[in-house]
Structure 1
């Protein structure tokens, strides 16, 4: 637990125990409208961009390192999904929708546990570990007509030299993978 300024976590816990023992009930906050229940991975009704993962347990990254990146406990599926939705929404003309199904991901870099225990949790960025993403998409116009659809195998074999990740922060562990998404979306909806 992070330490809060002004009160020690143990003191906070003691106050909570005293408050509930004395018959005080926690204050509930009311929201203006209940949010609809949407399961993780399901499209949000009315969203302009939807992204779903098709058999993520079979992704190249999962097979090699585990779904949550077993070395660093990093969840990459949700951040990549959120990023793709944000970027694609900005690119789409008003009224158009984009449906993306991601069928494989291999993140940039790889682990080399043979370097020893001190480097076991370090993801090495080398040309032999390029980012990869396989997806299918459907671009739907405001009238409901399918404008474009297809499959793409996104790759950046020269990701370390391309400068493609320059727009993201150096501390973002997914910067090369996000740059892969950007390079696909930068073509615009007419060239997806």
Structure 2
């Protein structure tokens, strides 16, 4: 009985070690993202439709941070992408009086395109800035574009703009990437 107990304990430790190694090996090949937001009250349009204002803002910051973290995961080991989001104008508009079951709805029209402003700095493993800039992304044709929502965020139009920006950075050579060959092939 003691022999079976020790074999079971050894197996548990081996499985935990293998799991820890597999988890750490995926993180070793990824960069890191640090995302900050300017004062949200000054943003052009981050109005909540059917959610409490504070909960909506919390979800918005979490989801945008997640998008940039996904980009950083495609960077080589040791790289750090620092993003400071200074303004967001979400696609569509919340119109007074436009409600369904007492919830305001976001009305999508061609004239209410998404826009996001941010500054970025990409640092290599030695903490040297290898790329930096100020961006103002906008998609005036957002309702006509083919898009496949990732399911990672509820801000699909804004996420698509950011994906296109990151892809352009990699293809142009401004950002190194583990999938540069894949992105170049789909150019």
For the aligned pair, the TM-score class normalised by the smaller chain equals 0.5 to 0.7
Is the partner of 1:76 in helix, strand or coil? helix
1:90: how far off? 2.8
Conserved in 2, the CA contact under 8 Å of 1:135 and 1:151? Answer: yes
1:156: how far off? 0.8
Q: Is 1:131 paired with 2:110?
A: no
The total of aligned residue pairs comes to 138
Conserved in 2, the CA contact under 8 Å of 1:91 and 1:185? Answer: no
Q: Is 1:111 paired with 2:65?
A: no
Conserved in 2, the CA contact under 8 Å of 1:49 and 1:85? Answer: yes
1:98: how far off? 0.9
Conserved in 2, the CA contact under 8 Å of 1:112 and 1:123? Answer: yes
Q: Which has the higher contact order (CA 8 A, sep 6+)?
A: 2
1:60-79 aligned within 5 A: 60-62=44-46, 65=47, 69=48, 71-73=50-52, 74=56, 75-79=59-63
Conserved in 2, the CA contact under 8 Å of 1:60 and 1:105? Answer: yes
* Structure 2: segments with no counterpart, 5+ residues: 1-30, 176-187
Q: Is 1:144 paired with 2:127?
A: yes
Higher strand share: 2
Q: CA RMSD in A?
A: 2.4
1:114: how far off? 4.0
Residue range with higher mean Cα deviation, 72-81 or 152-161: 72-81
Pick from 152, 157, 166: which aligns with 1:176? Answer: 157
TM-score, normalised via structure 2 length: 0.64
TM-score, normalised via structure 1 length: 0.63
Q: Deviations over 1:8-64 (max 9, x none)?
A: xxxxxxxxxxxxxxxxxxxxxxxxxxxxxxxxxxxxxxx7210000222211124xx
Higher helix share: 2
